[in-house]
Amino acid sequence: MFTSVDDVSARLAETGYLASPAVATTVFLAARLGKPLLVEGPAGVGKTELAKAVAQVAGARLVRLQCYEGVDESRALYEWNHAKQLLRISAGRDETWDDTRTDIFSEEFLLPRPLLTAIRGDEPTVLLIDETDKADVEMEGLLLEVLSDFQITVPELGTVTATRRPFVVLTSNAGRELSEALRRRCLFLHIGFPEEELERRIVRLKVPGLSEALTESVVRVVGALRAMDLRKAPSVAETVDWARTLLALGADTLDETVVRDSLGVILKHQDDIHKAAAKLDLDAL
């Protein structure tokens, strides 16, 4: 898939994803060793975006399983289309039951869900299992099975084995600690907040109209906010939002008023805004 770590960086950059050395190295290894990649880190640091970018550069289709509390096999693996099966049963009145049964448990009545979809088919595939920590523990058992053999058994149809293993990315915000067993299946990548230099590059790329001086100031202030131990530290997504806001406001330098008026774009909690204002020596809000 990739010839070198530099190749990963260069091709991801073409899609608009700027990879740190850690990200590029780990993606390269995941492809080379054929192991799933577990990406952990706070919200808004580009975990989901990374999987999409990898799919794009690999010319692969992206299959996404979005996890949430209560996601189950019928949402993750497959489900039978009951309504259609019922229609079929009532339509074929003069057949034997055996015929009907064989028919309604055939491909035509199967609703494949992301895990099955990703395993079937021959085209290159990136399987994104997003926000794995939101799913219940039971789901992990299922993922572990699928990621071990890359095969899924549908009792009525038989076993489907991947002819071409998908490139698997699992993301987690560490809302729940994932099991040791699942972690052991994967290469581990922690994406934290980027280094200043990388974050400046991201801002330049996403908000090209912003002046260089302002770009630099934005990144510095965000860095200072992250060091403050807030309830929710601003992420890359907020940096980019803030840069866009400043551009829209037509600000040409960062001054006290501009910062005070736009702090709400970067910080989501009222306590955080007050704490930051105090530490940045802003007049009371």
Ligand X SMILES: Nc1ncnc2c1ncn2[C@@H]1O[C@H](COP(=O)(O)OP(=O)(O)O)[C@@H](O)[C@H]1O
Is residue 235 at the binding interface for another protein, with CB under 8 A as the rule? no
Is residue 17 at the binding interface for ligand X, with CB under 6 A as the rule? yes
CB of 94 to another protein, least distance (A): 43
CB of 96 to ligand X, least distance (A): 52
Taking residues 183 to 212 in sequence order and writing x for each that binds another protein by CB under 8 A, - otherwise, the string is xx--xxxx-x--------------------
Is residue 45 at the binding interface for ligand X, with CB under 6 A as the rule? yes
CA atoms of 206 and 218, how far apart (whole Å)? 13
Q: Which of 26, 48, 117, 125 touches Mg ion by CB under 5 A?
A: 48
Q: Taking the CA atoms of the chain, what radius of gyration do you get in angstroms?
A: 24
Size of the site for ligand X (CB under 6 A): 15
CA atoms of 210 and 204, how far apart (whole Å)? 7
Describe the strand order of the beta sheet including 187-190 as a list of residue ranges. 61-66, 125-130, 167-172, 37-40, 187-190
Determine phi and psi for 268, rounding to 5 degrees.
Answer: -100, -20
Is residue 46 at the binding interface for ligand X, with CB under 6 A as the rule? yes
Taking the least distance from each CB to another protein, the nearer of 25 and 85 is: 25
Is residue 125 at the binding interface for ligand X, with CB under 6 A as the rule? no
**Distance of alpha carbon 217 from the chain centroid:** 29
Of 260, 262, 236, give the one whose Cα is nearest residue 249: 262
Taking residues 156 to 175 in sequence order and writing x for each that binds another protein by CB under 8 A, - otherwise, the string is ------------------xx
CB of 117 to ligand X, least distance (A): 21
Taking the least distance from each CB to another protein, the nearer of 79 and 133 is: 133
CA atoms of 257 and 82, how far apart (whole Å)? 60
Taking the least distance from each CB to ligand X, the nearer of 43 and 282 is: 43
The CB-side HSE value for 94 (13 A sphere, CA atoms) comes to: 0
How many Cβ atoms from other residues are within 10 Å of residue 176's Cβ?
A: 14
**Burial group, residue 280, by CB count within 10 angstroms (0-12, 13-18, 19+):** middle
Is residue 43 at the binding interface for ligand X, with CB under 6 A as the rule? yes
How many Cβ atoms from other residues are within 10 Å of residue 99's Cβ?
A: 10
CB of 154 to another protein, least distance (A): 28
Identify which range of 80-88, 110-118, 147-155, 222-230 contacts another protein by CB under 8 A: 222-230
Q: Which of 115, 221, 236, 246 touches another protein by CB under 8 A?
A: 221
Identify which range of 38-46, 64-72, 84-92, 97-105 contacts ligand X by CB under 6 A: 38-46
CA atoms of 221 and 48, how far apart (whole Å)? 25
Considering only residues 229 to 258 of the shown chain, the ones binding ligand X according to CB under 6 A are: 236-237, 240
Render the burial of 53-88: b for 16+ CB within 10 Å, e for the rest: bbbbbbebebbbbebeeebeeebbbbbeeeeebeeb
CB of 239 to another protein, least distance (A): 14
Interface with another protein (CB under 8 A): 5, 21-22, 25-26, 28-30, 32-33, 35, 40-41, 137, 174-177, 180, 183-184, 187-190, 192, 216-217, 220-221, 223-224, 227, 229, 231, 253-256, 259, 271, 280-281
